[in-house]
Structure 1
Amino acid sequence: MTDRKFKRGATVCTCIFVFLLLAGVTALIVWLVYRSHKPQFTVLGAAIYDLNTTASPMLMSTTMQFTVVTRNPNKRTSIYYDRLSAYISYRNQAITPPTILPPLFHERHSTVTLSPMLGGAMVPVSMDVVNGLVMDEACGVVPLRLVLLGRLKWKAGVFTSVHYGVYIKCDMFVGLKKGFVGQVPLLGSPDCSVDI
């Protein structure tokens, strides 16, 4: 009687082990086939329509537009973005209020162009920002950072991931002299870093 119980227990354990092994191998194969790669972002153009400061109180009014190309490198996975917002920073300080962007669906292995208009409201800034902008405009080169924040999720076939936070940072140098408005040259073709 004891031998039968032992054999039955050994058979059940073996079946469970084989089931878990097959489930693990299946999960590994699905992960290898559908694993997701980060999206890629590049800034292609910039236009500055307003960039003014006031001394007392220290406020900055900014209106800028950037052309950003985003590429989904995944051949089997689409990307959904939601709760996206964008702002511009200068010397690690935001100089535009966050602008809410519409949700974006990014098909598999495709490219999408965004051209958000940012700014329009006065933003309090530090003396370092005001003085730095005066010096950089005198030199004709202004360093800016475009920041995109939001959430994304991947969809591969019937599988949809949970939401992940996404932080996109595009550091660039623009050629800008005081008083100039319109399309400004980008010095180089800045790629952006993407943190998920």
Structure 2
Amino acid sequence: MANSAPPPPAAPSPASKLVRIIVVVILALIVLLGLAVLITWLIIKPKQLVYRIDSASVHNFNLKNNHLNATFDLLIKAHNPNSRISVYYDPIEVSVAYDGQTIAFNTLEPFHQPRRNVTRLDATLVARDAALSGALSSDLRVQKKSGNIGLDVRIKARIRFKVGIFKLKHHTLRISCSPVKVQMSSLKNFETASCDLDW
């Protein structure tokens, strides 16, 4: 008795062929995009922006009836170490806080920071009749007698990176510098304060 030949395999339908082609094309695009991003990153070699407070002092300090009047002068150092990336800053919000409470605020002008550049920003923040709790007032009086006040400096700005002729989308940059020992006397040496970035 002769064995019957097995039936030939069913030919793949045109729909399944199309699905396979689409999957292969998508995977190829993902691989190419990944390679493009990797090559761009290797060429640009982006480095973290660096910020610190180089000096901080307070003038016209007057704390009366739990209300504070004072002028804070800050020198902020912004360092862009990148050789192929420049940075555009929108208006920069700078605030000074004590024990979590904002006591002074100001806005700095926008600017463009070139590649491999260090920019120093002078910021003057004025506390006008800032209301404090009794506990905060007592703490501030004690710190004033010691010759310096430990404050938090917060910086917020919308920035854009420029790579070659391309400007990338806006990012919100948040910088926190703490503690900043604000000097009551110009005779004391200021200890620079480093800052942390939060994107």
8 Å CA contact 1:174, 1:186 repeated in 2: no
- Whether 1:73 aligns to 2:103 is no
- State the match for 2:125 in structure 1: 118
- Which structure 2 residues correspond to residues 15-26 of structure 1 after superposition, within 5 A? 17-26=27-36
| Percent of residue pairs identical | 22
- What's the offset of the Cα at 1:34? 2.8
Q: 1:184 to 1:126 in 2, by over 3 A?
A: farther
- Whether 1:85 aligns to 2:93 is yes
Question: What is the CA–CA distance in structure 2 between the aligned matches of 1:99 and 1:132, rounded to whole Å?
Answer: 24
Question: What is the CA–CA distance in structure 2 between the aligned matches of 1:73 and 1:22, rounded to whole Å?
Answer: 29
* Runs of 4+ displaced beyond 4 Å: 8-17
- Which structure 2 residues correspond to residues 123-162 of structure 1 after superposition, within 5 A? 123-162=130-169
- State the match for 1:64 in structure 2: 72
Q: 1:135 to 1:20 in 2, by over 3 A?
A: closer
Q: How many pairs does the alignment contain?
A: 187
Question: What is the CA–CA distance in structure 1 between the aligned matches of 2:54 and 2:21, rounded to whole Å?
Answer: 63
Deviations 1:78-122 (A, max 9, x none): 1111131111111221111x2111002111111001111111522
With structure 1 as the length reference, what TM-score do the two structures score? 0.81
Q: Which runs of 5+ in 2 are unaligned?
A: 1-10
Q: Which runs of 5+ in 1 are unaligned?
A: none
Question: What is the CA–CA distance in structure 1 between the aligned matches of 2:88 and 2:59, rounded to whole Å?
Answer: 31
Deviations 1:37-91 (A, max 9, x none): 3311121122322221121xx3211111111111002111111111311111112
Deviates more, 1:11-20 or 1:33-42: 11-20
1:34 counterpart letter in structure 2: I
Say which of 172, 184, 196 aligns to 1:193: 196
Q: 1:134 to 1:74 in 2, by over 3 A?
A: same
